[in-house]
Amino acid sequence: MLRSLIKTASALALSAGVLSAPALAEDHAEDHKSEGTGPALWQLSDDDTTIYLFGTIHILPEGETWYDDRISSAFDASEELVFEVDMDDMESAGVEMAARAALPEGQTLRSLMNEEDLAQYEAALQGIGIPAEALDPVEPWVATITLGMVPLLQAGYQPDQGVEMVLRERGEDKTRTALETMDEQISLFDTLLMDAQLAMLDATVEGIDDVVTSIETMKAEWLGGDAEELGALMNDELDNPELYQRLLLDRNRNWVDWIETRLEQPGTVFIAVGAGHLAGTGSVQDILAERGYSVERVAH
């Protein structure tokens, strides 16, 4: 069972989608004015290169309609499709994640927790039907990902309906590129200090009852095209400075470096990354603007 949980988690969460989906504050759950119908799409260009930026949700229920004419036109015009990681290599990702997930021999995940956190953790596991001992052999970051995933799977969200998986199937004839390696994505979590990992797990446990409501609200913002509100939902509660720097800012800067290099070559490129990276302070667009690039939203 443990290996199955790790494999499922690796297929979905290496790009931090679930870790960027904390329980929603009440003010974020209120009605809002949408900027348009359909997910936001951006574009930057020079004389011979066009790059589209599309924010994704990594896991969706079956039957969601989001692939509209704007997205289709940009996607069809692109010769190169770029994801956060190699979407063709999920099997090896699960193997590598499992290999790096283990705690030292003689140590268990529950032994690392204080009495209060342990009681909440065991109650959360019971609530989603996972035996208390199931995740004992793994580091806290793996348990965090698993606890973020299972409620979504139980609610009917499906890995193969995530935006990247759909685009991957539609883009079989395109050159495919990854912004990060699997090792880099796993290292985002595996190299966190243990205290930070335990804090991340505790926050996930405390918000586990709201996971489905949270992503439903984010999905509504995403489908409605309200990128700023979506960015607030995804990133505002990422208030740990180390996690904010590691999971968002550093990666966004690295991706902008990649974009700058890619602009030196002709062609049309479609970049699909988690929507939280394309909204709010420190977004990819913010960093591009700081470096003198003009990024325009593609109109509905």
Residue pLDDT tens, the chain, 300 long: 444 444 444 444 433 343 433 333 334 334 433 445 799 999 999 999 999 999 999 899 988 999 999 999 999 999 999 999 988 766 667 777 878 889 999 999 999 999 999 999 999 999 999 999 999 999 999 999 999 999 999 999 998 899 999 999 999 999 999 999 888 888 988 999 999 999 999 999 999 999 999 899 989 999 999 888 887 777 665 667 778 888 889 999 999 999 999 999 999 999 999 998 998 889 999 999 999 999 999 987
CA distance 222 to 38: 7
Main-chain phi, psi angles of 13, to 5 degrees:
-110, 5
- Tell how strand 60-61 and strand 80-83 pair up: unpaired
2-20 CB burial, b ≥16 within 10 A, e <16: beebbbbbbbbbbbbbbbb
CA distance 81 to 24: 32
Collapsed DSSP state (helix, strand, coil) of residue 155: coil
